[in-house]
Structure 1
């Protein structure tokens, strides 16, 4: 099969594709039901684990059941928040509120619950009709996005909206239209390396909660700052998105994920079942990593799988993590230390125990004392963001009754250094991995010495004009399909800056690209750009 037949990103998919490719597990069903419920939910997971996919499944199910439930699903992506790196802290707040209102109005219009002269949102714009209000709000948030190019340029920043006004407008909408409630599904909730934006977002998320409005937000682990006013235990339910590699149905569901997208692969997967299982196990429950490595190993066989596991888990995944240091100089020290800590301390220690003792538990977990230096914890959080580590419990009791945090090492990075990573992955898979068995690193381990005194708070004070410095980067560096990349190049949008400046109308100049396709391509391109810029 062609490498480009597998879609790695939810942005590549229509809602119909999402439904067709969805492989449901018990955890997925519980998560989707929570996303459709009245409660506030924070959906947390590393890149590629399927947060956006689950939000889209929930949206589709609510859309299909709208006539019965009268629950209006409003999907909003905040993937362009990185363009609001500005000296005015209020710009992000007003951008966010304007975008939320705009999406509510437009989704309500699609479902026929807003009439052309409805006054439900009249308080937002001097009794203008909702189309005019939506247009004004769209102009506002787009002008705020563009303001990063010239931070000194005057720009309207005040949306005239606050959370109480949104709650009142939503309640009026539900009363007048017979809707029961609105569910906001917010993807890419706040740019991962701008803590001030994140704190603002979670304050607004808390303030928007009402009987008629609930907010669900997808965030990354390790790099999310909730702020003092948002308390997870009281204000939301935290759901960590990860597929349990120890679940008996894990390999079956991962196999189905690939076959749903590429049915022609099923005979090959069946023929090379043990090879596929090794690749799936190495992905550690991350569908994007699975699809990437299966695609790169095409045609799937033992030799290709060996090559890809070595290339991706020895080099590529680490290079992606290290590139965060190039983008966010303030975090460079902890990013580099985290890589060295795993590659030079943790993984060799795990392999040494394996060779010397033949330990049947095949350790893939590590434990860090709760009093370890702040810089160490920051490094581990960033490794979780990259998907190299997975948090597997806090307050875990270790030797001598000490407590700390437990992490699972990505299986691919665990077996990548082996001469035969396919056999190594199957060796691990075939044994009794125990979450109770881990290597321990105490509060003052010698490996911490080089960064123990690093001031973590000062890292967040380092402001980089990163986006402006990256505008000339080529489109080839973006994570998107070859078709989308080719079309962008044909139109001359061959750099990050040109894509950010493009419009859907510009994309429609390409052959075979109409209104629907241009919207999809714009979403894909913007998402790929923003993920690249955010690391």
Structure 2
């Protein structure tokens, strides 16, 4: 495998691959054990930090331990929730419940605890065995997903389900089959820019909780709306997925993440250790960013790393953030302000102090007063979603005895503007202190006109953009060059063609059977849905 074939999306991997590539840290182990526990968990982290990967590791371990533990792991992704942009909020609720129930039945059958004529879930449909129920529910949720194609209402929109019915069915499953409990692992929990979907999901998440069923959900920071009925302190445990760049084991674990995928790279990585360390540190704990920049810097050497760091951290990461404003018009003002605030004010301020001070400024943390305008905090939350900022503690007391939130600036964006970003990154990592911050008070002059923006109305101005994106090229999707090439060979060269494709369409290609087509569909759909969600 060359570095051009490094896999940077969990959707590209089988469960066996996940197990093989997993580089365990103490924090990862604690997280996985909690995911396997009876607790209700919200797993929060920016794109690419490893939320899906950790869910899959937990699933694999519970699968392997099932004969002894009798804990049934059920993985379900909500990445297609964005297709349900509708004025009828109940559609999403029924889509969600149908998908959850269908996946529980399918997983129980796969483990052999539901037999052909079992009737544990038959009460959820008008008669029939569990297979009939699962098929009916799958037809329903697929129909709801496909309704966007014709702008027509789905043939069926009501699942006939509610959380209590699912809880009762799961309890019956456990009582009648010897299953101890069910752990529901929900990835991409509702569309990030449709708050109403998120509020519905978290209400259902709370309502599904029982001694026999626990829910773990992966969400993004900054763009998650929990609603009034879900209280994090009472209804779930929040786990932030962020690799600590100040951890003494950080660089070695990031090195192993690359080498596990391609052992032949170990010699090259060791030979160019300082160059690799700069890429790993610039990635700020994000494995996907490291794998993408490593792939682009192939063959690894100083010149290629310099080029990639300039391209990625000066341009690409910022343009991806700005693109959110093109898709979600209501958020454009705060998205543009956040980029300007960091690029034109904060980062130049750090570089200027670094050049002019006898004590070089190695700060990468900023602190925002808790009473800063809501629009300012919204802009910073969206920067966290894009991975440009990372929340590093709330309720922290600053120099004047007032409290606020600390954020860490992505290291690559801090050093990318330098003439020699590799050297600048390695210089910076020698003396970063979490105690040193740039502080911005409640009424800082840089907030300007954004301070008066009505954040509450932003989500009312949401553009229906799916159809406008259908002709976008597959080249704009975040996937490996190999996967993109295969899609092109099959004729699926646009967003619309991929969305409209079926597994049967993929099977028209040579050497592509049921298993490979399912994997191809998962990879392509995940990339499309991430593109559509920003």
**TM-score, normalized by length of structure 2?**
0.99
- Matched residues in 2 for 1:151 and 1:377: separation? 36
- Matched residues in 2 for 1:7 and 1:337: separation? 33
- Matched residues in 2 for 1:151 and 1:163: separation? 29
SS of equivalent residue, structure 2 residue 449? coil
- Matched residues in 2 for 1:398 and 1:349: separation? 19
Residue in structure 2 matched with residue 446 of structure 1 by the alignment: 445
CA deviations over 1:105-159 (Å, ceiling 9, x no partner): 0000000010111111011112311111110000000111111233443531110
1:528 corresponds to 2:534: no
Alpha-carbon contact 1:32-1:54 (below 8 Å) kept: yes
Residue in structure 2 matched with residue 222 of structure 1 by the alignment: 222
Describe the shift of the 1:358–1:222 C-alpha distance in structure 2 as closer, same or farther (beyond 3 A).
Answer: farther
Residue in structure 2 matched with residue 518 of structure 1 by the alignment: 517
> How do 1:34-113 and structure 2 match up within 5 A?
34-113=34-113
Alpha-carbon contact 2:174-2:181 (below 8 Å) kept: yes
SS of equivalent residue, structure 1 residue 528? helix
> How do 1:503-514 and structure 2 match up within 5 A?
503-514=502-513
Alpha-carbon contact 1:21-1:261 (below 8 Å) kept: yes
> How do 1:44-443 and structure 2 match up within 5 A?
44-153=44-153, 155-359=155-359, 362-431=362-431, 433-443=432-442
Measured on the aligned residues, the alpha-carbon RMSD in Å equals 1.0
- Matched residues in 2 for 1:158 and 1:517: separation? 32
Alpha-carbon contact 2:41-2:239 (below 8 Å) kept: yes
Alpha-carbon contact 2:76-2:103 (below 8 Å) kept: yes
Alpha-carbon contact 2:35-2:41 (below 8 Å) kept: yes
- Matched residues in 1 for 2:361 and 2:337: separation? 28
Alpha-carbon contact 1:47-1:385 (below 8 Å) kept: yes
Which stretch has the larger CA shift, 68-77 or 117-126? 117-126
Distance apart, 1:399 and its partner CA: 1.8
1:479 corresponds to 2:478: yes
> How do 1:460-471 and structure 2 match up within 5 A?
460-471=459-470
Distance apart, 1:4 and its partner CA: 3.0
SS of equivalent residue, structure 1 residue 466? coil
SS of equivalent residue, structure 2 residue 405? strand
- Matched residues in 2 for 1:238 and 1:472: separation? 39
Alpha-carbon contact 1:487-1:510 (below 8 Å) kept: no
SS of equivalent residue, structure 1 residue 215? strand
Q: Which runs of 5+ in 2 are unaligned?
A: none
Distance apart, 1:358 and its partner CA: 4.2
- Matched residues in 2 for 1:10 and 1:145: separation? 23
- Matched residues in 2 for 1:438 and 1:488: separation? 46
- Matched residues in 2 for 1:424 and 1:485: separation? 34
Describe the shift of the 1:249–1:98 C-alpha distance in structure 2 as closer, same or farther (beyond 3 A).
Answer: same
Distance apart, 1:463 and its partner CA: 2.3
Distance apart, 1:361 and its partner CA: 6.6
Alpha-carbon contact 1:79-1:530 (below 8 Å) kept: yes
**TM-score, normalized by length of structure 1?**
0.98
SS of equivalent residue, structure 1 residue 197? helix
SS of equivalent residue, structure 2 residue 146? helix
SS of equivalent residue, structure 2 residue 91? helix
- Matched residues in 1 for 2:487 and 2:320: separation? 24
Q: How many residues align?
A: 534
- Matched residues in 2 for 1:313 and 1:347: separation? 12
